[in-house]
Structure 1
């Protein structure tokens, strides 16, 4: 992907805008927000904004709104996956006040950066009744860049450079040879959107890039995976051992040989 300046991105991208009142009810949105968000399905107007988002995104939106209440904080944009359709959005929220400084509402602004971080065409919406063996669900857009946060900037990390991803609640830390970066996407979202030939969920808290696999360690019945360039081995869940070995193309017997 060619490097683009922040000014280029600001000029090229139309922002989506959602207006909330002081009770966090949706009162207005612009045409881009109407196109990208599931307005027809959920009819968000006059509803609290948290009820409008997918369940796994609610905690992130609540965090955004809480940050907007802090007068001294300057949180970086949040990165979220909206499931219908599959999009990656950079989202920022700001509080609006009247002449006395009382809160009158909030404005939620987002940019759709899906094309900048993924490499497949968006999936067409399909109803459950239309999903059959002959007509399976469309593949999700695969990420080739992972959006991470660094000092109020969004840094796009090349997927090939990632050694592993560690879960921390609703968020993750993305590790490369240069260190770890905070990511607003959760580990399940990333596991579904990264190349399954390279990335494998070895543990509920760890997603490993097997291109960096160097050693499989066994110690008192516990299994861990050593990745090239990482000083510490990662734990492998007992239920993931067989899948890990299969993904690496080796068998259980191979790991027991002296």
Structure 2
């Protein structure tokens, strides 16, 4: 076999890291935005939005604000003054790292610096500000985590209950179905349902496709927890084994795949 051409050669993580745009947001102690760089402007809001002076929490949907507040409060209280979390905005999923800023050593927080990386694929910008051919950058994690680790298969599913100050972890085998809720998901088990702070598309990529099947744009089901399949009005529904016996619609494009998996 001949040598791989430079255009198709795999790129090192270091190469991609050096060329990945990083968004930077400076917050005051009351979480109002004081300054952003152009990358953060593009990642956090649609074009034309004025961010200076806005509360950072106001940029997130109501169900996500407690997660972002928790991220900042962890940085406020942490010994090293840092905290990292995957968050989601109207512009997509992001990885955010918050660092506490202090006016004097050991003093109260004078503000925060938030650095954000796009979790979804984004074009790498060349020196002239144009994408470099077909080059793409996969999601980058912070604090030394590699891009591949960021997309590793999930063994546990993070769930948030109550005020959101505790993240529970359950085995993915316990999950009956996942339902899209805005930019996040709702997880159903046999006994309860809870908020999952991950996008449904991200969960689909990281869960075993032999077990978890996207049967509809809003539903990802654990095929092992299908209780029944019913054909009604020319369409198919799955009855799931969660506490509510949720009826999940099957998209027309997925009917044959589902019928083969269930032998119906």
Q: TM-score range by the shorter chain?
A: 0.5 to 0.7
Structure 2 alignment gaps of length 5 or more: 1-9, 123-137, 174-182, 187-197, 229-238
1:174-223 per-residue CA deviation (whole Å, 9 max, x = no partner) reads: 8569xxxxxxx84256335648992258xx9x9434xxx347458xxx96
Distance 1:106 1:156 in 2: 24
In 2: Cα distance, 1:238 partner to 1:147 partner: 38
Deviation per CA, 1:13-71: give whole Å up to 9, x if none. Answer: 22110111122111111121122222655422122221233333312210111101113
Relative to its length, the structure with more helix (as a share) is 1
The answer as to 2:209 corresponding to 1:191 is no
TM-score, normalization by structure 2: 0.53
CA–CA distance in structure 2, aligned partners of residues 166 and 237 of structure 1: 21
Offset at 1:105?
Answer: 1.0
Matched, 1:104 2:114: no
- Mapping for residues 17-28 of structure 1, pairs under 5 Å: 17-28=24-35
Quote how far apart the aligned CAs of 1:166 are: 6.7
1:249 and 1:165 map into 2 onto residues whose CA distance is 27
Q: Does 1:168 align with 2:181?
A: no
Aligned residues: 194
Q: How far apart, in 2, do the equivalents of 1:9 and 1:174 lie?
A: 33
Alpha-carbon distance change, 59 to 53 in structure 1, aligned in 2, over 3 angstroms: same
Q: Which residue of 1 is the match for residue 74 of structure 2?
A: 67
CA RMSD, Structure 1 to Structure 2 (Å)? 4.7
Instruction: Note the C-alpha offset of 1:111.
Output: 1.1
Could you tell me how far apart the structure 2 residues matched to 1:186 and 1:172 are?
16
Shift, 1:109, TM fit: 0.7
Q: TM-score normalized by structure 1?
A: 0.54
